[in-house]
Structure formats: C-alpha cells, structure tokens
Structure 1
Amino acid sequence: MFSFKFASILISIYVLLPCISADSATFTHSITYKGDSFFDGFNFFTAPDPTHGWVDYVDATTAQQGNLTGVDSSNNVFLRPNDLDVITDPNGKRQSIRIQSKQPFTKGVVIGNFIHMPTGCGTWPAFWASTTGQWPDGGEIDIIEGVNTGEENQSTLHTNPGCTMPSERDQLGQNRKLNCDAKADGNSGCGVSYNNGDSSYGESFNNNGGGWYAMVHDDESIRVFFWKRDDSNVPKDVSNPPESGTITVDDSWGKPYAFFPLGNNCSGDNFGAESIIINTTLCGDWAGSVFDLNQCPGGAEKYKDITSKDSKEQCEEVVRKHPEVFKDAGWTIGSIHVYKLSQDNKKRLVRRRR
C-alpha cells in the first residue's frame, strides 16, 4: 500500500535533486577584448617559435606598420601573417603574429566570436590558454587548433604526468588519445576532434561566416563548445555576452563537443593561472610533418620551383617563395569575453560533491 510517509520521502528527494545533479555554474564578467582596445590587453610574443614554425613573430609596432594587425570597418580585429613579400634569404622566415593576454585567469569561461580563421596549406593556427609559469606546470588548454587545409578542429589538454581521460565521455567529438602527459607520445596530449559537417573549422567555417567557441573550466571539468553562425540554439550569453554581471552555463548550452572531467583521473591541480594565446605559425612540427604540396592552390604542378623532396622543407620553401598562398591565413575576431568562476558557485560545487 502506498503510504503518505513514502510519498513524503519521494517529494523530498525530488526537491533535492536539482541541487545535487544540476549541471550549472555561474561566472562573473572579468574582461572583454574587442575593437580598438583589443590589442591593449595583449603582449606580442617575439621569441623563436617553440613549435619550430617557419615564422618570425613580430612586435606590435612592426605588426601595425605592416598591416598585419588592425581593426576593420566592421570593428572586427584582424591578425595575419605577411602575404605580400617573397623571401629570398634561404634561411628567412615569414612575419606572423602570436599574442598572449596580459591578464591571466584561473577557472572561468572564455567566449570567442570568430568571423574568420586561418586556413590553407602550411598553416597552423591556434586559439588556446596556457600556463603563466613553467610549461607544462599549470597546463595547456587548446580550444581551436588544426593544420593545412583540414576541416577538423582539435581541442586538447597538455599536462604534467598523471592526467588521463576516460574513453567514454558525454561529448559530441571523438577521442584522439587519452594520456594528457605533455612528455608522452610526442606531446600529443589528450585531444578530441569533431568534424560532422558542422562548419567548425577551416574553409567551411569561413564560408559559413564563422561562429562561437567557448571554453568552460570549473572545479569539475573543462569543456569546449561550438556554435556555427546560423545555429538557432546558440545561448544568448554566447551570441551577446554581457560586459558586466554574470552568466550561467547550464543545460541550455547543449552537449560539449569536448569534455574533460577533472577528479581522480586528472586532478584539477594540473591547471593554474592561464593566459589566452592566439597565433598563426607556418609549417613547424605538426603542419610541416603532414604538408602536401597538392593541397596548395593550383596543385603540385604549379610549384615547380619547389626543389625539396621532404614535406617539411617543401612547406618552408612555399613559405619563402609564395606569399600568395597565405592570403586566407588570417584571423578576424569580433570579440573575446572572459568570465571568472564566482566564489558562491565554488562553494556550491564543493557542497554538491560531498
């Protein structure tokens, strides 16, 4: 017989469930990068490329004078490699841009409105967050990354040893590798790729007017989301991010395409203060190793002046001799918003786990 006492217990459980299982978190506005003040929030990286790309990262003055950075008539920011000059020095490299945010964040949401991303043979663009300390202490979170003419984005974590991901996760993307250790597997990290005709990367992304990427880092996980420009389900806090107050990440954001749970398999202590980095390198350890001359405009027959047989060296020759190849190798960015995990929300998450 159904008793009143049993019904009361069921009601109590039902009332408590949202507090226990609700997958939501609140974040407070921290900083916005956009328009004329965008580059004020970034330092220009000018050291040799750590990934051995065939680029010369230039300072802010050189970038502005060379029209490699600026703001267009729609108030969108652009940053791009030089696509005009032939480099006659066999050891010469092409000018490009790598910037790093002055203000780091520890746990939060990063929302990027991207209109155009670099693509084409020899390109290796990335939008990522990395430790402000001695890498890989503090971790690295790659949000957007790919090479050459690929149409597949890859989001990846790189950490100290002892961080792995489960093979079964609630995400749209496909696992690449599960060991996040930066010193294992040639620093492959634990990546998730996604290519389901969604225009999330490369030429298809650009042809569709771009879209929004968001990275959410709280006490329990790191997640990466993507919405293409014409997606009717993009959350309002993503399509029109507030520049004060708070945003809430909840079920309305849908399923992430990359989900990295933090806990026993990978301690949240692997990630500390992070800065946002945007760069475009050319060739290098990844793009150069899988470079294919046939992917360049006009196909291999057009590049009879390329003498090397090695793919990496072929890539570097194209970089020096054919600036026109890189006319589509720039970023166009509407805005980047950063929100920090609120203190009240941190307390709620701790209570929920107990």
Structure 2
Amino acid sequence: MKVLVLNSGSSSVKYQLFSMPDEMVLCSGVVDRIGQLDSSIKHRSSKHNLNKKIEISDHKNALDLIVNLLLDENNGAIASIDEIEAVGHRVVHGGSSFKETIEIDSIVKSRIEELFILAPLHNPANLEGINVAESVFVNAKQAAVFDTAFHQTIPEHAYKYAIPNEFLEDHNIRLYGFHGTSHKYVSEKAIEYLGVKNSKIITIHLGNGCSISAVENGECKDHSLGFSPANGLIMGTRSGDIDHSIIFYLINSLKFDIDEVNKILQTKSGMLGLTGFSDLRDIEAEALKGNSECKLALDMSVYRIKKYIGSYVSAMNGLDCIVFTAGIGENSELMRGLVCADMDVFGIELDESANSSYSNGVSDISKKNSKVKILIIPTNEELEIARQTYNLFNQE
C-alpha cells in the first residue's frame, strides 16, 4: 500500500511517500520558508535529488509543486496518482472532538475549520493540504492524524485551568498540547534506547514552533503548549508564555483591536519580534557577529526551556533522559549546549565533543558519568503518521 504523508506546518510542507507496511520511503522532501524571499524545495527519490531556491507564495502553491514532483518523469516515484491508496495528514488541533486518527469526511473538515481560531497558523494550512489532496488523489482514502492525541493522557490537575468550572464543562477550555506525533515518536525511541520499563523523559521539540513534554512510562503527563499552540516556549513568531493582562493593556490602553493583538502575538512576536529574524539559523549567525538583540533572544529562549525542564523534573519526581528533536533540536549544537549548561544539579552533563560531532541518527551526547541521558533523536512525524494511517485502513 502506498501512503503519502503531508505535514503542512506554519512555514513549511514536509512530505514522504511510503510503501507500507514495510515502511520503505519511496521519495521525500520539504518545501521550506513558504512566503519568504528565500523559499526553497528539497526533493529526494531513487531517480534524482533536487535542491533549489524557488518562489513559493503559499501552501497551495507548495502542494501543487509537490504533486508535480511526485509525477515527474525524472524526479518522481509514481506513474499515476492512482498508485497512492491513502493520504495521511498532520492536523495540529483536534480539540475535544478527535482523540485518535480518523478517516476524513465533510464533518471532520468542518470541525478542523472550526478550530482555525485556536491554531490560526496551522489548521488552515492543514485543511488546505487536505483539500488539495482530495482534488488530486480522488481515489485515495484520507486520514487525519492529530497533534493533540498523544496528550490525552495528561491528568486533569495538569490540563485544567484555574478558571470557573463551566468553561471546561460547557466549552472544553483546557490544555490540549501539540506536536504530539513528534513527542510520541521520539519518546518511544528513547524508551527503546534506554531499554527500561519505567522511565521519566523530557522531550524537547525545537523548530519554528517549540514545545516540551514530560513523559512518564510512555504517557504524556504535562506539556508546554495549551489551549492553542501559542504559549510555553519562545517560538519563531509566537511569544510563548505571557502575562494575559498585557493583552488587556494593549486593547484598553494602547487601543489595539483584538485582531491586531492576536496578529502581534501569533505572527510578530517570538524570535521575530525580538530580533527581526524568525529563523534560528539567521539568529545564531547574527549572534556570532555580535548582534546584541540576537544574543539576548537566545538567552531568553534557553532560559525558558530550562525553567520548563526544572518544573517537569519536579512534577515527575525525577528524570532519566532528555531528548532534543526537530529542526533546531537536531541541528543546533549551540542551542543544545546552552540548554544543558549549568544543569548538573539535575544530573544533566553534556559531552561537548559528542555534541559538536553529531551528524545523524539516535545519539547519546551525555558524559559517561551523567545521571541523565542526553539524546538527540531525529523526529519522524511522517513515519508515525504513515503507520497510523495504514493501521486505520487495515484494521482486522
């Protein structure tokens, strides 16, 4: 069975075509920095590798390009769109409606659209991917795999907000958590690596969007993102944790309207608001040149991550392992080093040589005597989505 996985993020679209159940990757790629001047596409297949800068204005443009590459005589992996039997879509917010992978129909799409307000950078892109895929792969089954599903094990005392009870009971206002497909995949890989039944793991997903999870014995116990994917760690364009009274001050005293405030916090804050850059690669480069704003932004981001690590060690009453994953977590030696610096009180001791020499795969970058394992585990949300999609349509 050929399963196409589409992972439409806020500024990128990752895709992989799998042969299932043997999990063979037939082709893969990523469209990066969508809507920016330096947007690009990387595409790999058994026939050819493509890596080029190309103007990509929006997610529809990106998805049309991907479909053309899949069918391309020189770059593609299929001769006909009918070879693809199922398409698995990453969907960020499932609210309280979806707790597991589900086949997509008009009702599912309507519910995803209703949740635009809670994930304005993601759910619209996710739904765009679904609509384009349905129009192209007309004979393929479509599945939605939700970022929120892995976090359904978070206990009530952790997911409930200290606001009047009726807001949870009548309106489902609670912590949902996101990046769940990634946190699930890497935490399972970490448990496999540790070779233990009982484990206390902190998984740190660092990309344009960032989040951190406390995972005990394979179940998520707490998570930094909440009702929407906007709070917690400092992100590319999102502020992360902020005193909610600032919102009222912006509206009541500075006379911003509600939509302007939402836009500021979702698309103009985070690293972009602090430095003028949303991509950490650019921020690190500028910091090395002596840019004080970029240096401070890195310090702020690292400080926030450390605060969450400390709180989750306390919540789980211990720690066996921390995992770095996603674009920044896997590729930024600097960020991993800064996060792990001066953390020996928790038994976290980084091997700087192992950190700087990391290339790929699951890797232990902790010192031999470190009480806590420090792992780099490349996330593979696409494989996890392919597995869940295949299992959905091949249930006995």
TM-score higher than 0.5 here?
A: no
Q: Which has the larger radius of gyration?
A: 1
Return the structure number with greater strand share.
1
Greater length-normalized contact order (CA 8 Å, ≥ 6 residues apart): 1
Instruction: Give the TM-score taking structure 2 as reference length.
Output: 0.24
Return the structure number with greater helix share.
2
